[in-house]
Structure 1
Amino acid sequence: LSLSLSLKEEDWIVVTLEPSDLRENVTGYAARVMGEPRTHLLPFLNLTDPTATPLVFNSSHHGLCYTVSLLLRQGKTWSKSIQTVSVLTKPRPVDSVVITDYPEAPETGVVFEISSPENNVFSRVNISYAEGREQRSMLYKDFYKGKTVFKHWLPGTCYSNISFQLISEATVNRTTLVRRSDLTHEPRQHRTVPNPPLNISHKIVPLSQRVLPGGVPSSEVTQDTPRRARDVPLIEEQELQENQEIQEVSYSSAPQGSNSSTGYATSISNTNNTEEETATQPYWPEPYGSPSPTDGEEEFVNAVVPEYEDSNEPGSAMSLPPEISVTPTRFPPILLELRWLPPRPPTTYDRFNVYIYRDGNSTETATVDENTHEFFTELTEPGTYRVQVTTLSSAGDCEARESTAYTGLTFYLSPSGEVLEQPQERPQGVSIRLLGSSTAAVSWALSSESHNGSLVSVLSLTCLRPSLSQRMENTYCSEENTTSDILSNLTPGAQYRVVVYHTNGPLISPPSEPVIIVIEPTGVRELVVYSLSPTAVILSWQRPYHVAFRKYVLQTFFFNPVTLASEWTTYYEIAATASVIASVRVTDLLPAWYYNFRVTMVTWGDPPLSCCDSSTVSFVTAPEAPHISSVDYNHGTLYVRWTYGELFIDMSHSRMLHWQVTAHGKKGSKRTYSTDVIRNVMGASLALPPGDIYNLTVSACTEGKRNSSVPNIIKLEPAPPRSLYAVNATHSSVTLLWSGEGVVDFYQVLLCSLFSLQAREPLTAQSHMVTVSSLLPSSSYNCSVISYSYSTPSEPAFIHISTTVIMWVIQECGAETFVNFASFERDSKLPYNW
């Protein structure tokens, strides 16, 4: 098979069938294109002659390797790949390039950021550039989202003609395919930041103390000597010219209207000096006007200071009469001598820039060549001076750049001419000792540098954290400076940042390492527990007004029946509020359980500080109300059973003390009957008089707390009379006596004759005795007595009673004569002789 592929306009893949690819019994031909996320199946549309019309596929990815396979169809199915050919499309060129400094090291590092069209695939980037006059290139692959960092360029060097070419690579059958994009973007250029000069040093020489030629101190110059003082630079220049010493001289340029300083620079490279002479040259020059050890040969060539030029005009200081003295200046001028070393190699640089600022304003800017490493200027006004020396690189087509690292010095000139150097050593060994909740003492180690004072800066870090409505402190919310080593008005619970500076007049040293102090908060007070239910309480407390803290933490301590352990656990956290009083509801407690509650203040810090463990209160929750499950009354005894809480509750660690069963009678002098039962027993018996209505409750009792069940109303039937007796029976009446128990409203007595079916009207008795009259003599009766309470009758008590016979009347001889009388029973017989 000879399936052929070609690229048209770099984006179109053309698939062509050759006559040798055609086979018999094949109903269709197709090309399968793979490489993109979606596979494409492209059939050849000309079935009569597939070789006449090639397939054209528009590739949507640039720089991607595509695989094209030939498929044959026999019937309704396609065959497997018959032939596979790979092609690598060309990546699109870079659209734009941005080159910026690497912020962490702008002297040697740059950030490359490139952008290319969408769906552009590349594996490496060929970066070519000109380093000075040398052309370099390198392959770079670590581009993430089009950005990479290059850290190996030379400081201060101009890199020009920077271009980026995208490269796509693919390996097919051990053959590497490579395609390169075109170069269409405009070449870039970039200069790295040069390294700063090293070891900048200075020397301040009062001009009033300099020795003039001939050994005359400048302080003794009067009206006869100003010309000699002004001619000093000319004398030195003349002597050096006689010795034919050629040196480079660069003059400083002061801004127009500036009269604070006049500067000039010298070069330390002398073309006539030998290496040995250069090696033995002292770094600090001798004062101007001092005798030279080489009989007049000076080591430096100095420019003429404008204030000391000759003036032969009439009216000048040189033409004053001898009797008129020169008015002395109020500020004694001084000479500032600067020296430095070249920057660390390899650094490309052309010149050095010298900047002098007085009280924040620029007073002088000077430029010296790369071979000059010193600068002299006269200062004529007091103030705080800041001097900076930078390296300048300008060779090449790139924009000139200066070193960015600060290399300079600061000093202060008092109006009297006193020079105060800025302390360079930061305070060491700063420590803070708390003297109380609102006072602290700051101390630090002695410094090797001279300084006339120290400054303590305090800033509260907690002021920035709470909202305005929660702010609980006002001091040190902005940075405050103090010269005292005692810090007062601190707020308990606040966090402070303390920094110490050494001062020398208005100059301050670099800051010490900051020390963070966190003061322990005061803690809460008046912690009180209010019971809501057996499983809920309310905790309320107060806090002092002046305290700073982040949150309240509520902790509970109790015996956990699940883990069988007691420990402090955090229950709730409450954000700090401006309110002095706070409360929280605690739920899901165990009934009749012992708890400790603790509320602590937590403030900021690492680790956070909290206070205090003394803010603790103990509490025993109320018990749950039991539930009466069964009530039974038998033979004057009430049997009660109840349940409590869960079905299988473990009360071994509960603070339940006992149960109390109480029955309040409605009548019976409203007596109360109660009994106590140990906590492990859920039943009790209680002797209650019958016939009354009782309010029955079961109470669970703990230390000072109890909770009772729902009242159970029980009504006991009255008891039947007991010990029923009949006494004092006559022929027409009988007295009944009985005893009873419990509560009885009244008794009902019912008699029924054995010889008559009609019952007598029932009798009602309020006491335990009743006399029944109007009975038939010598008769028998069945008698029942019933107790009534709350209209409820009791079981009847029965008794059989009989009445006696009446007396016999005897008649004899027609005359009524009572001979005797006696009582007899009905069936008794009289004697015959009666």
Structure 2
Amino acid sequence: MGHLPTRTRGGRRLLPLLWLFVLFKDATTFHVTVRDDNSIAVSLEASDIMSPSSVYVVKITGESKNYFFEFEEFNSTLPPPIIFKANYHGLYYIITLVVVNGNVVTKPSRSITVLTKPLPVTSVSIYDYKPSPETGVLFEIHYPEKYNVFTRVNISYWEGKDFRTMLYKDFFKGKTVFNHWLPGICYSNITFQLVSEANFNKSTLVEYSGVSHEPKQHRTAPYPPQNISVRIVNLNKNNWEEESGSFPEESFMRSQDTTGKGKVFHFTDDTPEIPSGNISSGWPDFNSSDFETTSQPYWWDSASATPESEDEFVSVLPTEYENNSTLSDMEKSASSSFSSFPVQMILSWLPPKPPTAFDGFHIHIEREENFTEYLTVDEEAHEFVADLKEPGKYKLSVTTFSSSGSCETRNSQSAKSLSFYISPSGEWIEELTEKPQHVSVHVLSSTTALMSWTSPQENYNGTIVSVVSLTCQKQKESQRLEKQYCTQVNSSKSIIENLVPGAQYQVVMYLRKGPLIGPPSDPVTFAIVPTGIKDLMLYPLGPTAVVLSWTRPYLGVFRKYVVEMFYFNPTTMTSEWTIYYEIAATVSLTASVRIANLLPAWYYNFRVTMVTWGDPELSCCDSSTISFITAPVAPEITSVEYFNSLLYISWTYGDDTTDLSHSRMLHWMVVAEGKKKIKKSVTRNVMTAVLSLPPGDIYNLSVTACTERGSNTSMLRLVKLEPAPPKSLFAVNKTQTSVTLLWVEEGVADFFEVFCQQVGSSQEAKLQEPISVSSHVVTISSLLPATAYNCSVTSFSHDSPSVPTFIAISTMVTEMNPNVVVISVLAILSTLLIGLLLVTLIILRRKHLQMARECGAGTFVNFASLERDGKLPYNWRRSIFAFLTLLPSCLWTDYLLAFYINPWSKNGLKKRKLTNPVQLDDFDAYIKDMAKDSDYKFSLQFEELKLIGLDIPHFAADLPLNRCKNRYTNILPYDFSRVRLISMNEEEGADYINANYIPGYNSPQEYIATQGPLPETRNDFWKMVLQQKSQIIVMLTQCNEKRRVKCDHYWPFTEEPIAYGDITVEMMSEEEQDDWACRHFRINYADEMQDVMHLTTPHGLITGCQQPMLQKASCSLYTRSDSRL
């Protein structure tokens, strides 16, 4: 082996200089040899020695890295050669000799290139090339792949007696197709060598591997004979002749000296393969040594036709076949009675197409699949004659064989065959060569189907329908759901019965003529649609899981169940059917599946279909669906605070990814259960609630998430409220020694503790022990007369005291008569009432005189018109007000209105605060006067309106949940006239909207006045429009006026529909004028639809140009008598 330089005097120091090359005049030469063990030997010659002090280094390149080897020191003799073990076989290496003199490195003018020998092929396999076994083969070689390099493969073989060799490079993974051989030739001593090639300095190096595998041999298949034909001649009838039809190739018939003419049969290309018989026999050879002899069958006649010449291969009639062991007595008697037998069969053919090497032909004769004769003739024979003496069905085939050489004998690839039938009367029936055309299957029901077809041949008298189930074979035997057509079933009917729903079948049809059966039709595949499942049931397992269960029909075949679900995916924002699970089919009639990871409070639709084995797959049925809304998850109460007699509750739902915008959550139900059970419904968008709970009790607090079909309650939270102190503590029935205390209970209390202490006494000097009572009144006795006391009352609930309530009392000094006290009090009260009445009359008198001066003398109220219009009922009030017709209206209305009496109202005595009326004749002047100084008096009158109706309650508007729904805190709807929304939720404040009914000429609720909607009340606004059947909306303001937001833009900008909660609003048309704009909206909610007109002014109320818009609204109201504005 080579080694690195080991010299001590400058050896290692010279190695970095190996890359510095200087041209030298004389080139050095050296000797390189490649050994059998794939090693390279480099040796110096005497002419290479330049100076004893020089260093000789060998550089070897070719692999991934370069190798450097230094020759050992030498004096008078040459150094030993350097041995380099090459890693690669079949790779070329460049060896360069470098001489170093001091610090100068020489570069030779040339280098030596060597090529290592590749490793040999280890094994070889040769197969027929199936598309063309006559000329093509498939070579598969195996060889060492690691560190083995080659470019081509040398193939050597003997083609008969000729030696051939060729280089081939189209090997892929050791395989290649060679399609250049001759048919029927024996190729022997086939060997493979790997060849490595390299080009260097315009010269080519070639190395062949050795041959280590066993030489192979292979014979290609010969081509079959051509133009095969057969004639049938009736020897007992003269001039009997019938044509059998034409063969695609031209028939070749040798002339025969027979008593009658023959019927000619031709082989077709589409004939079934002839199975081997159960009796093997040959034919006696009389004139040829190549004829194989066997015993003769009974149906072969000894009086065979005489051959035409002495050179014919079959020249003598065979002897009588006497083997009757296989014949029955009936067959013997029948054969002896036939007068039309024997008949003569003349079989002829042409040689295979050249250049086929063949040595003869094999003739295969089969009768009714019971007796088989196998005969061999040489390559010169092209006709075979035999007499048939038995009726039956015959099959004939002629094949080419090749046997010369050392290879095994081989027949042609496919043997042509011919079938015909000879009846007992000697009549022959030719083979059916045409297959049925346009075969189709029409499914009549889930268990029956009808076949239909056409045929170019009309000489058939029946059909055979072969049916087999394709799905039965795909199922395990223990899991099969059908048994009728698991194996092939043949029938002569065109109607196929006993089919199974969901199965797939393949049908093949044959034409039949007597015992002969024609070629099969193209297979037709059809499937029966499955019937689908039934009794689909759903069982919930919680908020995120359900169990689906179903049954299947007893009769049915399918591959699998497919479980799908339809829901709104919040991630993709789409709703579609998705496959959740697939279950393989079993023999069980019931099946179930658990579906997990569902979204809580979500709408789902589940579907289970049956899928068949067919291609394409069939499924049924989309109607097997069931819908379900999952239960919500349990809320979690996070904080509970009690402040100012109100309990503030907060909770959370799910995690941070929980989305309530598309869930089916309806509302929250907050329940506090103590001695009293208090419920409150909260909208789903809010997770806080305020409860007014009676103090002093212990409550089990819970929050329930509610959907349409289920609910889930949080864990109970125990809340204990401290008792509230008694309120409204009074001291009554005072005497010299006792006093009665009376108070009002606040919340829940088990008992009260009353304690009194004398004013000015020390803490230790107690009058008595505290008194415990369960009622709201107690009488304390044993008190000192004319003494002041401090008394306290404390509530106790669940052993917890409240803050005491104090009251100062004093006992009476002397005994007084109670009747005197009562009389004195009544006298004082009477005096005060009389004085108050006198002051009121004086004020009214002055006001009356002032208004009398302002009123005109001719201003009266025409009660007759009121009676005609039906505004004055026929009751006692008419008689009371009759005398007032003589007075000016401003006087008598002033008296009545001063006492809050409205004579036009049915509730005439109900309180109303009204302004002074204005006469109709003075109305224009009144308006002009009020409009002076920029409507100054109007603004004052508007401020006075704030004082009107202060005593009329508006509790709904003041609720904490409803305060955010009011745009202004001083414009609130009255409880008696507010519009109430209809809501499915029973929560407090769900029916509230800032809107009031306004009476009109036709109805007490003819108009609705509402504020400009807020962003959070837009949905409520459209809900009110839809529920109140309002058909006209008049907007008397703009969304923004003087940089102040007056109203939210609550209608669609474009014609694209917009959803406001559960209500969808779509703008149908839009019309704009100088003074107003008119839009028509269509409101949809579920299956309810309503059209609404929307009128707005582009300038608002400030400019005073709203008159045209009001005229438009009035016109619309006139045309729509049932409209609400």
Q: TM-score, normalised by structure 1?
A: 0.79
Which of 213, 234, 259 aligns to 2:298? It is: 259
Distance 1:481 1:729, change over 3 A: same
Match of 1:759 in 2: 766
Structure 1 residue 703 displacement after superposition: 0.7
Please give the per-residue CA displacement for 1:89-144, whole angstroms capped at 9, x wherever unaligned.
Answer: 34566676655433332211233455668866543344455555665443222234
Match of 1:594 in 2: 603
Match of 1:242 in 2: none
Match of 1:785 in 2: 793
Please give the per-residue CA displacement for 1:779-829, whole angstroms capped at 9, x wherever unaligned.
Answer: 111111111111212221211111233579xxxxxxxxxxx9x999xxxxx
Distance 1:718 1:110, change over 3 A: closer
| Paired residues, number | 733
Match of 1:2 in 2: 29
- Structure 1 Cα separation of the partners of residues 119 and 761 of structure 2: 137
Matched-pair contact (CA < 8 Å) for 1:497–1:516: yes
Mapping 1:494-643, distance limit 5 Å: 494-643=503-652
- Structure 2 Cα separation of the partners of residues 40 and 262 of structure 1: 89
Unaligned runs of 5+ in 2: 1-27, 241-256, 262-285, 321-334, 822-1125
Structure 1 residue 596 displacement after superposition: 0.3
- Structure 1 Cα separation of the partners of residues 464 and 719 of structure 2: 88
Distance 1:49 1:64, change over 3 A: farther
SS at match of 1:31: strand
Match of 1:797 in 2: 805
Match of 2:697 in 1: 692
Structure 1 residue 619 displacement after superposition: 0.3
Which letter does structure 1 place at the counterpart of 2:636? H
Structure 1 residue 491 displacement after superposition: 1.7
Structure 1 residue 79 displacement after superposition: 10
Distance 1:253 1:377, change over 3 A: farther
- Structure 1 Cα separation of the partners of residues 365 and 480 of structure 2: 46
SS at match of 2:618: strand
Match of 1:711 in 2: 716
SS at match of 2:236: helix
Q: Which moved more, 1:147-156 or 1:536-545?
A: 147-156
Which letter does structure 1 place at the counterpart of 2:689? A
Distance 1:75 1:644, change over 3 A: farther
SS at match of 2:702: strand
Distance 1:782 1:306, change over 3 A: closer
Distance 1:589 1:269, change over 3 A: farther
SS at match of 1:737: strand
Q: Which moved more, 1:609-618 or 1:702-711?
A: 702-711
Please give the per-residue CA displacement for 1:482-510, whole angstroms capped at 9, x wherever unaligned.
Answer: 22222222222222222222233343333
Matched-pair contact (CA < 8 Å) for 2:754–2:793: yes
Which of 743, 763, 768 aligns to 2:776? It is: 768
Which of 717, 728, 732 aligns to 2:737? It is: 732
Q: Which moved more, 1:642-651 or 1:593-602?
A: 642-651
Which letter does structure 2 place at the counterpart of 1:759? K
Distance 1:101 1:781, change over 3 A: closer
- Structure 1 Cα separation of the partners of residues 336 and 796 of structure 2: 140
Matched-pair contact (CA < 8 Å) for 1:128–1:137: yes
Match of 1:682 in 2: 687
- Structure 2 Cα separation of the partners of residues 721 and 773 of structure 1: 21
Match of 2:201 in 1: 173
- Structure 2 Cα separation of the partners of residues 676 and 725 of structure 1: 39
Match of 1:216 in 2: none
Distance 1:534 1:752, change over 3 A: same
- Structure 2 Cα separation of the partners of residues 560 and 438 of structure 1: 41
Distance 1:267 1:114, change over 3 A: farther
Mapping 1:333-482, distance limit 5 Å: 333-360=342-369, 363-394=372-403, 400-448=409-457, 450-482=459-491
SS at match of 1:592: coil
Matched-pair contact (CA < 8 Å) for 1:268–1:371: no
Please give the per-residue CA displacement for 1:608-664, whole angstroms capped at 9, x wherever unaligned.
Answer: 111110110000011122222332334433332222223474322211111212111
Which letter does structure 2 place at the counterpart of 1:104? P
- Structure 2 Cα separation of the partners of residues 682 and 181 of structure 1: 88
Matched-pair contact (CA < 8 Å) for 2:305–2:344: no
Mapping 1:478-493, distance limit 5 Å: 478-493=487-502
Match of 1:18 in 2: 45
Matched-pair contact (CA < 8 Å) for 1:26–1:72: no
Which letter does structure 2 place at the counterpart of 1:601? M
SS at match of 2:454: coil
Distance 1:682 1:197, change over 3 A: same
Matched-pair contact (CA < 8 Å) for 2:507–2:525: yes
Please give the per-residue CA displacement for 1:655-683, whole angstroms capped at 9, x wherever unaligned.
Answer: 11112121112x3xxx3111212222222
Q: TM-score, normalised by structure 2?
A: 0.59
Q: Which moved more, 1:334-343 or 1:177-186?
A: 177-186
Q: Which moved more, 1:460-469 or 1:563-572?
A: 460-469
Structure 1 residue 2 displacement after superposition: 1.2
Matched-pair contact (CA < 8 Å) for 1:131–1:158: yes
Structure 1 residue 416 displacement after superposition: 4.0
- Structure 2 Cα separation of the partners of residues 327 and 622 of structure 1: 93
Please give the per-residue CA displacement for 1:361-418, whole angstroms capped at 9, x wherever unaligned.
Answer: 5654444454543222111123332211122335566554332312121223344434
Which of 699, 707, 731 aligns to 1:702? It is: 707
Match of 1:742 in 2: 747
Match status 1:157 vs 2:213: no
Which letter does structure 1 place at the counterpart of 2:83? V
Distance 1:654 1:369, change over 3 A: same
The answer to which structure has the higher helix fraction is 2
Distance 1:112 1:720, change over 3 A: closer
Match status 1:68 vs 2:109: no
Matched-pair contact (CA < 8 Å) for 2:434–2:455: no
Distance 1:189 1:713, change over 3 A: closer
- Structure 2 Cα separation of the partners of residues 804 and 329 of structure 1: 159
Structure 1 residue 422 displacement after superposition: 3.3
Matched-pair contact (CA < 8 Å) for 1:265–1:375: no
**% identity of equivalent residues:** 52
- Structure 2 Cα separation of the partners of residues 184 and 673 of structure 1: 101
- Structure 2 Cα separation of the partners of residues 77 and 605 of structure 1: 84
Mapping 1:40-51, distance limit 5 Å: 41-48=68-75, 51=78
Structure 1 residue 748 displacement after superposition: 1.3
SS at match of 2:611: strand
SS at match of 1:429: strand
- Structure 1 Cα separation of the partners of residues 722 and 543 of structure 2: 37
- Structure 2 Cα separation of the partners of residues 682 and 720 of structure 1: 32
- Structure 2 Cα separation of the partners of residues 721 and 328 of structure 1: 136
Which letter does structure 1 place at the counterpart of 2:708? E
Matched-pair contact (CA < 8 Å) for 1:29–1:50: no
Matched-pair contact (CA < 8 Å) for 2:648–2:688: yes
Match of 2:224 in 1: 196
Distance 1:558 1:583, change over 3 A: same
Matched-pair contact (CA < 8 Å) for 1:198–1:343: yes
Please give the per-residue CA displacement for 1:148-168, whole angstroms capped at 9, x wherever unaligned.
Answer: 332122222344565555533
Distance 1:445 1:75, change over 3 A: farther
Which letter does structure 2 place at the counterpart of 1:544? P
Match of 1:143 in 2: 171
